[in-house]
Structure 1
Amino acid sequence: MNMRSYDEKGGIRMGLVSLLETVNVNTGERTVLAEFDYLIEAPNWTKDNNYLIYNSKGLIYKFDLATRESNPIETGYVNQNNNDHVLSPDNKRLAVSHHTKEDGQSRIYVLSLTGGQPVLVTPMAPSYLHGWSPDGAVLSYCAERKGEYNIYTIPEGGGMETQLTDTPGLDDGPEYSPDGRHIWFNSTRTGLMQIWRMNPDGSDQKQITFDESNNWFPHVSPDGNSIAYLAYRKGDVAPNDHPANKNVEIRLMGSDGGPSSTLVKLFGGQGTINVNSWSPDSRCLAFVSYQL
């Protein structure tokens, strides 16, 4: 979920520098790919290992890893996109969360990754996209309905949405594992924001992390072996908030849970790693850090 991923001035924050980076999960080596004097957020890594997809100023951009140049993807009237965007498993389509002109609330749309006419998937709002099932048939997202934020799924072409969680507290960040056996998510239901896992039908909801941090956005590596997530220090934020401009960590753990390790310490938070940004070989993560 992203309550506000861009501001009224088109995503420009005075004095902000965005660094598009990668980190090798085995060595910890960080590489700065590009520097922007405005807000960019949430890279997705394409399966062909050629591009990163990110959002900025309401638009979606394709960053060429070879030339290190960015070009916008044509998304038509869907031009107020936040940082909740996901690639289809075959990488032919792009699903985005766009704040509609009518009421300013986020709704999910699908279009070709090469650009084109967007198709509305979730008429109900707000809806914040986070996952796409491995078979390409279902989208998973966080949505507010009747004053409560829960996790839902919907056919990728639209239709009836299915509510998967109903426990008091914020549930967010639902993402499918590559084998389709689980949906990973984060929840405040036990106090702090922690990482959870459930079956795709919402059954067997199981807490995975139990530490003293507020943990957000679990991202499963393509090989299914590792989980990367964003951690805020306890006391820095309310458990149900994931603001920008905080000292945070990207942490790594095995897909069976267990102890986690700190991969990166950075200044960031909102926009850093909201969506899955694993490289196709599961060796690297892309992320955005910030400087003021």
Structure 2
Amino acid sequence: MKTLILFFILLPLNSLAQEFEILYTSQVNNNDNIYLINHLGRIKQITTHPRKDSSPMISPNGKQMVFTSERVGWWKIWILDLENNDYRQLTNSGSAEYSPSWSLDGSRIVFVSGRNGGAEIYTMNPDGQDIKQLTSNKKNTMPSWGSDNRIYYSSQVSGVYQIWHMNPDGSDQQQLTSDKGDKLMAQLAPDQKSILYYGNRDGNMEIYTMEVSSENVNRLTDDGLMDIRPRWSPDGKRIVFERGNKRSNQQIYIMDADGSNQLQLTKTGYNYSPSFMR
């Protein structure tokens, strides 16, 4: 794997006290590849394929990266062994397959596939074997594996995406929200006290948390551009997300878990799908 250091961004000094590494996708010359940026602003290119690579998620042991790719056609799930630079295709249906996320122990991957005529949630082993369908209503998206070992996801109810969760085998599916506005990319905090998501309840796409015990909703961002696709840091103290218009200007940001200390990491172009490497 050839690694390319592109440039440095001089970040404010107060950001350097907390080290981080963030995976994300960047479109350069109409080609999407996966990159890594750290707290010093140092950027490395991870994938260098002429077809689109996107949505990277690191395994719990830090040795593998699952991602979506158009290397062999429509979106499929791929995995990269970071120790030996080994790429493997995990899914191969005739439909788009995307939004991969790891189980807590790294033994399963949850993802979305349209292989049976609708957007359903599935799990599989990291070698692509033992694929199991968990949902069956054709309107599901953006699953994540919670620290309580339940899968959190969005499912459309009466035309609105609401937050649901279920057991890893698909049993005990429960709806957690029912108010106005789409709620997408739901993720339980590492301390299990709140659920992170983005939605449009206030008219624009913004980032929110919902307290598990009280169901109180806290708005974390308030910007004229769209704030979308947030991810928790492993310790739950910070959130990475993207802000932009989903066209020519889409940048990666990081902030504290309460929405304070928002810091822009990338400066130009179209950048998306961030997640913490560590």
TM-score band, normalised by shorter chain: 0.7 to 0.9
Map 1:33-52 → 2, pairs under 5 A:
33-52=46-65
Q: What SS class does the counterpart of residue 258 from structure 1 fall into?
A: coil
Counterpart for residue 148 of structure 1: 160
Q: Does structure 1 conserve the Cα–Cα contact (< 8 Å) formed by 2:56 and 2:66?
A: yes
User: Residues 134-188 of structure 1: CA distance to partner in whole angstroms, max 9, x if unpaired?
Assistant: 132x111112122222221122211242222222222111112122221100111
RMSD of aligned residue pairs (Cα, Å): 2.2
Q: Aligned pair in 2 of structure 1 residues 265, 161: CA closer, same or farther (>3 Å)?
A: farther
Q: Aligned pair in 2 of structure 1 residues 91, 171: CA closer, same or farther (>3 Å)?
A: same
Cα offset, 1:130, TM superposition = 2.9
Distance in 2 between residues matched to 1:51 and 1:267, nearest whole Å: 27
Q: Report percent identity of matched pairs.
A: 20
1:229 aligns with 2:241: yes
Counterpart for residue 22 of structure 1: 36
Counterpart for residue 261 of structure 2: 259
Letter of the structure 1 residue corresponding to residue 252 of structure 2: I
Cα offset, 1:121, TM superposition = 0.8
Q: Does structure 2 conserve the Cα–Cα contact (< 8 Å) formed by 1:95 and 1:111?
A: yes
Q: 1:217 aligns with which of 229, 237, 242?
A: 229
Distance in 2 between residues matched to 1:44 and 1:158, nearest whole Å: 22
Map 1:1-292 → 2, pairs under 5 A:
16-24=30-38, 26-56=39-69, 57-73=74-90, 75=91, 80-101=95-116, 103=117, 105-136=118-149, 138-200=150-212, 203-232=215-244, 236=245, 243=246, 245-268=247-270, 272-273=272-273, 277-279=275-277, 282=278
Relative to the length of structure 1, the TM-score reads 0.77
Letter of the structure 2 residue corresponding to residue 23 of structure 1: I
Distance in 1 between residues matched to 2:33 and 2:104, nearest whole Å: 27
List structure 1 segments (4+ residues) > 6 angstroms apart after TM superposition. Answer: none
Q: Aligned pair in 2 of structure 1 residues 38, 93: CA closer, same or farther (>3 Å)?
A: same
Counterpart for residue 23 of structure 2: none
Aligned length: 247
By relative contact order (CA 8 Å, sep 6+), the higher-ranking structure is: 1
Cα offset, 1:208, TM superposition = 1.4
Q: Aligned pair in 2 of structure 1 residues 217, 202: CA closer, same or farther (>3 Å)?
A: farther
5+ long unaligned stretches in structure 1: 1-14, 237-242, 283-292
Q: What SS class does the counterpart of residue 222 from structure 1 fall into?
A: coil
Relative to the length of structure 2, the TM-score reads 0.81
5+ long unaligned stretches in structure 2: 1-28
Letter of the structure 1 residue corresponding to residue 185 of structure 2: G
Letter of the structure 1 residue corresponding to residue 196 of structure 2: W
Q: Does structure 2 conserve the Cα–Cα contact (< 8 Å) formed by 1:215 and 1:229?
A: yes
